[in-house]
Amino acid sequence: MKKPTVTIGIPAYNEEANIEYLLKTLLADSSRIVKLAEIVIVSDGSTDATVTCARSVNDRRIRIIDRKQRRGLVATENELLRNVHGDILVMLDADVVPVESDFLDRITEPIRKNSSVGCVGADIIPLPPRNLFERVIANSHYLKRHLYRRISHGNNVYLCHGRARAFSRSFYKKLHWPDDCPEDAFSYLTCIARGFKFKYTDAASIFFRSPVILFEHRLQSSRFVAGIDRLKELFSPEFVKREYSIPWKLFVGTLLKYLFRNPFSTPAYLVITSYIRLTHRNTDIYKSRFEVASTSKQIVAFKGQKLSRV
């Protein structure tokens, strides 16, 4: 039987720290069920050596679109949609690294097994923290992952994140992101609204880096809050509220469990989150051309280390 073809789409803005390593990792993928047909990179007005580093990886399947002017993540991903042709589109951030050697087989499996699945979210694993602040943020990730996995078996908006997703061709050909919106959550809500299914899988996972300073974490968290307000303009407020709903008992039970497990990191994260919520302004709006967190891009430093899943 003919193998399903996979296109990998990578939006990139100032990604010289990791793009070469990511490309080499993807090209070494050992998947046997699907075929890697192409990797399309759109550089969104990068001012560093992103394009040079990407071009240093010599493979006919790599295609680079070097856009000189920065237009933002949403415009970049829409340009990717216009330039991909695979049976399945795997969209990756440039500052991640797949964990499994057959990552493409794993992340595409829910789509291959069920034609009604439009979007798949992969598991994400933080790299070992470099300082105390990053340790707090990394531990908070495990708290939230524990919580989100227990909502609809993980098939929810919280686990449809921009770091690693797979889209069926029948879905991504109908997808278009409006400007200035959180494209990951918009992907999930559109998937559900159009009658497709979203599936989360912990069989496919990627490593990522948490910010090491409060300022950069605040940038990410503020975008999350402003993004929900923007989504309520694009969808019905009731629909958005329902999809973001977390059962109260589940939330309290998870919080108590992690307060006991991490008696320093969990209270510290609650303080940080309270500060961000208190300083968030109702006038803040979501912008696709947001300031990036530079400390979250240092992935290559762990090249050669054996990192195991947690």
Read off the pLDDT of residues 184-226 as tens digits, 9 standing for 90 and up.
Answer: 999 999 999 999 999 999 999 999 998 888 888 777 777 777 7
Assign 98 to helix, strand or coil.
Answer: strand
Is the distance from CB of 221 to CB of 273 less than 8 angstroms? yes
Provide the 8-state DSSP code for 42: E
Residue 56 to residues 18, 50, 64: CA-CA distances in angstroms?
13, 10, 11
pLDDT above 70: percentage of residues in the chain: 91
Average pLDDT over residues 122-126: 96
Is pLDDT of 308 > 60? no
Q: What is the largest distance, in Å, between two alpha-carbon atoms of the chain?
A: 57
Domains of the chain: 5-292 (3.90.550.10)
Helices (H), the chain: 19-27, 50-55, 73-82, 103-113, 132-148, 169-172, 183-193, 214-234, 237-243, 248-261, 265-279
pLDDT band for position 282 (50/70/90)?
A: low
Strand order in the sheet with 88-92: 62-67, 35-44, 5-12, 88-92, 164-168, 117-126, 197-208, 97-98
Would you state the pLDDT for residue 235?
96
What pLDDT digit, counting tens, does each position of 168-185 carry? 999 999 999 998 889 999
**Minimal CA–CA distance to 90: which of 37, 136, 147, 150?**
37
Provide the 8-state DSSP code for 96: -
